[in-house]
Amino acid sequence: MTSDVAKKVAITLNDVFTNTYTTNVCNDEAVNTCVTCHGSTGKVNNTATKMRCNSCHTESVGHRIFSDIHYKLMKD
């Protein structure tokens, strides 16, 4: 098992350094909507992933109440 892990690390590092590495993250429109605020460039900045948020989280009351106004202000 140790040699398998070492092999995978070596392959991954080679891919990273040759700019051929691709991640297995999901990047869809729903994720982009959340990351706008919750990502590293957003005002909330409390997540560093591009996974689908609703696989673990449900929409909060705050999002249901304020999202329409919030998104309109963000676009301006």
d(CA 56, CA 47): 13
What is the pLDDT at residue 9?
Answer: 92
Q: Is residue 1 part of a domain?
A: no
Q: Is residue 4 part of a domain?
A: no
d(CA 48, CA 36): 12
Backbone dihedral angles phi then psi of residue 35, each to the nearest 5 degrees: -70, -20
Q: Give the chain's domain count.
A: 1
Q: Is residue 16 part of a domain?
A: no
Write out pLDDT tens, residues 18-61. 877 766 555 667 777 777 778 777 777 777 666 777 777 777 77
Backbone dihedral angles phi then psi of residue 50, each to the nearest 5 degrees: -120, 30
Write out pLDDT tens, residues 4-13. 999 999 998 9
